Amino acid sequence: MASAEARLEEVRRELRQFPTSVRELAVPASVPYLDGPPTPLEFQRDWVCPNRPCIIRHALRHWPALGKWSLPYLRAVVGDTEVSVAVTPDGYADAVRGDRFVMPAERRLPLGKVLDVLEGRAAHPGVLYVQKQCSNLPGELPQLLPDLESHLPWASEALGKMPDAVNFWLGEAAAVTSLHKDHYENLYCVLSGEKHFLLHPPSDRPFIPYELYTPATYRLAEDGSFEVVDEEAAEKVPWIPLDPLAPDLIRYPAYERARPLRCTLRAGEVLYLPALWFHHVRQSHGCIAVNFWYDMEFDLRYGYYQLLDTLSRTAGLG
């Protein structure tokens, strides 16, 4: 009879093989492009149900924002409007730094002040990123709403619901979103500039490490210096410590077997980023984007992912 350790090693072997099997069956070698918006049936059947990403061209041509939104336009229309701005010393908000999971300092600034920094007219300590993920577009910048649709009709019909959040994104090239996943069906729309995505399917979970970190927040002092302040009485946060652009393969050797997909999203294009896909995001300087979050269905697919996550952790793979 096999020992417990032998059985555990067999589980590890199966988990290491699982991402390769899924990749051969269901994960594209690169993110596919569509030449126009799919019908609701096509979107649900070909992309949402199989949990596959795609980039949709020519989906925003009727939005005035596509031709109008620029830094000068934002200055003219909403330059005096105060918005929540994430400020970090190195551009990484919500990321592992040392033995802490560190969230950004939050500042309320007129958008014109952010534009001054982006256009080189003024300086500000750290790296600025307008990225408040709580429907900050209708909540903080309602003047911009006439320039775009309140949702993507073909996506809303396919998903059977309206978006849970509509977010506005604007920041410096140094602003980076660390590798993570969300429980949302994400429709990400670039209006100006470019976004650079690195993606992993949920099946790559055995290769992606998680560790527990004490949560903390950057505090920006009057002299422009940053201090890391622990969150009091907060539970530890599970987060991915690995930088996929420069992975530490000595510490995380399993990641060498992962096969990320890379894509660049340009103005006028929409990325469908399925729920539970891991993603790391960079951008061109001054990129302007909007995304729609639709809450995922917590169905059998979610249950399968939770099983994979639990097995990966229990087997010591991440």
* Dihedral sign from CA coordinates of 76, 66, 268, 52: positive
Number of helical H runs and strand E runs in the chain = 8, 19
Count up the domains in the chain and report the number: 1
Q: At what angle are helices 4-26 and 300-314 packed, to 10 degrees? A: 140
Q: Name every residue whose Cβ is closer than 8 Å to that of residue 290 and which is 6 or more positions away in sequence.
A: 65, 137, 148, 166, 167, 168, 169, 189, 191
**Structural domain boundaries, residue 164:** 1-315
pLDDT at 1: 52
pLDDT at 223: 94
pLDDT in tens, 116-137: 999 999 999 999 999 998 999 9
pLDDT at 31: 98
pLDDT at 60: 98
pLDDT in tens, 162-218: 999 999 999 999 999 999 999 999 999 999 999 999 999 999 999 999 999 999 999
Regions of the chain with pLDDT less than 70 = 1-2
d(CA 93, CA 80): 25
The domain that holds 309 is classified in CATH as 2.60.120.10
